[in-house]
């Protein structure tokens, strides 16, 4: 059975999943408006998933979107801990292998979306460019 590289929307979304998908949609729109070209949404490999893969000028950008209703428990980007970073790195390397490991600059961005459940649009969207680096033991 071939691997499903792209995740579709959830067929029966919970309120949390629905909030996350609304946040991803808002983040993609925001990134487009700020010069990013969206290449892939919801790329999935056996190592995990990356919300958005985009290009910004000469950079290939792997984007994690974190959506929260408030910052009561901290900024959304704080949820991208070392474990999540390792998962993102593994998935990014899987994507690059699909492209035959091109000689290209890439980075990992985090997009924070503050979106109340009943709000038609986000209260705030922030991009953290180059939020973390490819670290040991990973090499490219």
Q: What is the pTM of this model?
A: 0.85
Q: At residue 7, does pLDDT exceed 70?
A: no
Largest CA distance in the chain: 44
Question: What is the rounded distance in angstroms from the CA atom of residue 134 to the CA atom of residue 140?
Answer: 8
DSSP string across 40-78? EEEEEETTEEEEEEEEETTEEEEEEEEEES-STTS-GGG
Does residue 74 carry a pLDDT above 90? no
Per-residue pLDDT of 91-138, as tens digits, reads 999 999 999 999 999 999 999 999 887 888 889 999 999 999 887 666
Domains of the chain: 15-132 (3.40.1350.10)
């Amino acid at each position: 059975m071939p691997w499903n590289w792209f995740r579709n929307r959830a067929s029966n979304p919970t309120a949390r999943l629905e909030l996350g998908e609304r946040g991803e949609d808002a983040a993609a729109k925001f990134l487009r408006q700020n010069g990013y070209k969206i290449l892939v949404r919801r790329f999935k490999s056996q190592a995990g998933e990356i919300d958005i893969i985009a290009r910004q000028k000469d950079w290939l950008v792997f984007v994690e979107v974190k959506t929260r209703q408030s910052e009561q428990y901290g900024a959304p980007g704080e949820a991208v801990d070392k474990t999540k970073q390792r998962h993102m790195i593994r998935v990014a390397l899987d994507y690059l292998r699909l492209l035959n490991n091109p000689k290209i600059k890439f980075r990992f961005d985090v997009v924070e979306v503050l979106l109340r459940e009943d709000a038609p649009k986000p209260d705030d969207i922030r991009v953290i460019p180059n939020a973390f680096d490819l670290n040991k033991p990973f090499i490219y």
